[in-house]
Amino acid sequence: MRLEALPEGVVNLADFEAPARERMSAQAWAYMSGGAADELTLRANRSAWDAIKLQPRVLRDLSGGHTRLPLLGRELAHPILLAPIAYQRLAHEDGELASAYAAAAQSAGMVLSAQSSVEMEAVAKAFADEPQSGPLWFQLYWRDDPGFMLELIQRVERAGYEALVLTVDAPVHGARDRERRAGFQLPDDVRAVNLGGRKQPLALAPGQSMMFDGLMPRAATWREIDWLRAHSRLPLLLKGVSHPDDAREALQRGVSGLIVSNHGGRTLDTLPATAELLPVVRAAVGEAVPLLVDGGIRRGTDVLKALALGADAVLLGRPYVFALAAAGALGVAHGLRLLRDEFEIAMALTGCKTPADAGPHLLW
């Protein structure tokens, strides 16, 4: 893995986007940057954070303040984690390994995608080599093969991952127009290296639906949540919960935490922004349940707003892949540092001594 120079003029996360687009193929750019259908939810995720206004408190003694917080039995240095994003070698040859080294160096957590293009053990070693790293979790998509799922979970546990994150809002792909127009296909040298074997082909009778007779019978239900809880010692979080009834059901099933997400606007278009969904889910589950949010996070003020709306931490998505494409591991590390610095500035300017001080009183 080589160190690269940062592009000139990078002072915030958005500044990585232009150099990333120059370095990525048109197909890879469409895959990483695009959303579903008309991309209304993709845009809403960003505009919703912009629409929220902060109301600062002044003249407070903030000496000794910090960004630390507890989450799932760990003390995090700050509330910023890298979201699971597949096939990162589309953006840079070092892929998820570069992101892992950057996250570990910046004491950030990371959720590795099941569709990682780098072996999970290599990513885990990058975290293990850095004593100040944040938590390392593994994201799953359900595959209708209990034997395969059990082997995968056991491999995840052996590698040292600290939690499982099951994505529940994408049993099928969204209608991603941008990808289809670009003719996106994975190149021969990029694949989901942790997912061996092939899925069983669909056997449909004449007149049967590919969706409802073929794909959906293989999708996860609440039964699979019970199965995962029974077959792994790791905490289980569900990613993609947006309805309060689903949030309450998850808690009844013994889930350890939830991630409020609309899949970055990549599955079902016209969903509300995650900034709008977050307080609804928090109200449904109460104050004690670990709750994270992703979607549209770009600024330190967004992180503070998320905490004020009820999140314990945030997941950063596309911006760190753009930083990866622009400058490899150094780009991701620099992007995380920029976001953390902005978060500390926002805390100081609103009178927050610690993340626990963030609450609805900060919002106009």
The H or E element that residue 150 is part of is helix 146-159
How far apart are alpha carbons 320 and 306 in whole angstroms?
18
**What are the E-state strand segments in the chain?**
69-71, 74-76, 80-82, 109-112, 136-140, 163-167, 236-241, 257-260, 291-294, 313-316
CA 340 to CA 106: how far, in whole Å?
9
* Strand, coil or helix: 304: helix
β-strand pairing of 80-82 with 313-316:
parallel
Helix, strand, coil percentages for the chain (3-state, nearest 5): 45, 10, 45
Q: Give every CB contact of residue 306 below 8 A, 6+ residues apart in sequence.
A: 275, 278, 293, 297, 314
Is 92 catalytic? The answer is no
Amino acid code (one letter) for 338: L
* Structure tokens belonging to residue 1: 């893995």
CA distances in angstroms from 346 to 54, 57, 142, 315, 342, listed in the order given:
9, 11, 39, 18, 6
* CA–CA distances in Å: residue 342 to residues 143, 263, 298, 316: 40, 25, 10, 14
Q: Which of 78, 92, 263, 334 is catalytic?
A: 263
Cα distance between residue 156 and residue 126, in whole Å: 15
Residues carrying an active site annotation? 263
